[in-house]
Amino acid sequence: GSLPLQGHVVRNWKVRWFVLLQDKLLYYKIEGGKKEPSPKGRILLDGCTIICPCLEYENRPLLIKLKTKTNTDYFLECCSREERDSWALDITGAIHAGHPVQVQELHRMKNSFKLLENISLHNIVERMYDSSTGIRLTRNLDQGNRYKETFTGSALVDWLISNSFAVSRFEAVTLASMLMDENFIRPVGVRSTEATRSSDPSEKFLDDSTALYMFAESSKKNTSSKEEVHFNISELSGTIVKQGFLVKQGHKRKNWKVRKFVLRADPAFLHYYDPTKEDNKPVGGFSLRGCLVSALEDNGVPAGVKGNVQGNLFKIITKNDIHYYIQASSKAERVQWIEAIKPLT
């Protein structure tokens, strides 16, 4: 699949097509909507160390870091926590494929829970507040309300693991629930607040990128009604239904670029982002109301499509008769996107 990769010489980000083999991770350049036949590079997995979650870049919270045995660092960025964890699990399995004892130990650590006896919740909170290594506080929007100095549930889980307070997401969720029970942190927004009413203690804290939390003594939320929120902000306030990397044909130059697509509901919008840019602002998007979405046949290049594409194309026609041509990585992924978009049109 497509993932942004940081360059070694020029430290910029380029989207590459990655193929995971048993002993190496190959990456290809995408040209004209199609991956080139020869790999651009390869990451040898023998003796490789994987760090996930990797929080070295504040504005890129979904990184995987691979350190080879020659001490070369590779940073790969995913578009969701689920995608990141899936890649990390598969890469870890490939790294330890020849060492069954280590694989068993990884599974044991993942499925077990032993909270350290001498752990101090006060110490965790002090570390969370640290200006350089603490958890990153951001502004977030939920149901039309804006909140200052918040963090998401998945961000806290990532931070607890990366700072060695927990070795698995299950442990980190348990720790976060304890922090909430002891009134060190509190939920804000609809999703996280509703979860606290659950009768199951393991479901009171959400390991989720849309569930918001803040320090308990933080200032009260600074809210504004939906009517006061700028239109562009209201577009981005919907619930994320699906997100992922797809290849899109440009409107003017008709060239193909990998974009991170985010599908939202209430309001229903499809936005796309340039994953090589440092800011997290959409470079385009449109309302899905009144749109038509359909798969395009793979036996030839349809009218309106330029370049030597791989196939797995689908088309979205807006109510203003603007045609978007988008390419998925597989037929199954194309079906998933179409099925997710159709109910929102």
- Indicate which CATH number applies to the domain containing 176: 1.10.10.10
Q: What percent of the chain has pLDDT over 90?
A: 36
Quote the pLDDT of residue 156: 95
* pLDDT bucket at 248, cuts 50 / 70 / 90: very high
Q: What are the tens digits of pLDDT across the range 143-173?
A: 667 788 899 999 999 999 999 888 888 889 9
Q: Which of 187, 215, 243 is the last residue of a domain?
A: 215
CATH number for 32:
2.30.29.30
> Positive or negative, the Cα torsion across 169, 155, 85, 100?
negative
319 compared with 309, residue with greater pLDDT: 319
Q: Within this chain, do residues 264 and 175 fall inside the same structural domain, yes or no?
A: no
Q: Is 162 inside a domain boundary?
A: yes
Q: Which of 186, 215, 244 is the last residue of a domain?
A: 215
Q: Is 10 inside a domain boundary?
A: no
* pLDDT bucket at 219, cuts 50 / 70 / 90: very low
Q: Which of 70, 90, 111 is the last residue of a domain?
A: 111
Among 58-62, 126-130, 266-270, 323-327, the least confident range: 58-62
Q: Within this chain, do residues 92 and 174 fall inside the same structural domain, yes or no?
A: no
Cis? peptide before 37, omega within 30° of 0: no
Query: Distance of CA 304 to CAs 89, 226, 250, 288, Å?
Result: 39, 39, 11, 21
Q: Is 224 inside a domain boundary?
A: no
Q: What is the mean pLDDT of residues 69-74?
A: 92
Quote the pLDDT of residue 230: 37
Q: Is 221 inside a domain boundary?
A: no
Q: Within this chain, do residues 200 and 244 fall inside the same structural domain, yes or no?
A: no
Q: Is 237 inside a domain boundary?
A: yes
Q: Kindly report the pTM of this predicted structure.
A: 0.67
Q: What are the tens digits of pLDDT across the range 3-57?
A: 999 877 677 899 999 999 988 999 999 887 788 889 999 999 998 999 888 888 8
Say if residue 311's pLDDT is above 70: yes
Q: Mean of the per-residue pLDDT values for the chain?
A: 82
Q: Within this chain, do residues 155 and 187 fall inside the same structural domain, yes or no?
A: yes
Quote the pLDDT of residue 301: 64
Distance CA 292, CA 273 (A): 22
Instruction: For residue 201, give its domain range.
Output: 121-215
Quote the pLDDT of residue 261: 94
Q: Within this chain, do residues 338 and 243 fall inside the same structural domain, yes or no?
A: yes
Q: What is the mean pLDDT of residues 253-282?
A: 87
Q: Is 194 inside a domain boundary?
A: yes
* pLDDT bucket at 225, cuts 50 / 70 / 90: very low
**Number of structural domains, the chain?**
3
Say if residue 266's pLDDT is above 70: yes
Q: Is 202 inside a domain boundary?
A: yes
Q: Is 5 inside a domain boundary?
A: no
- The candidate with the shortest Cα–Cα distance to 344, out of 256, 269, 277, is 269
Say if residue 223's pLDDT is above 50: no
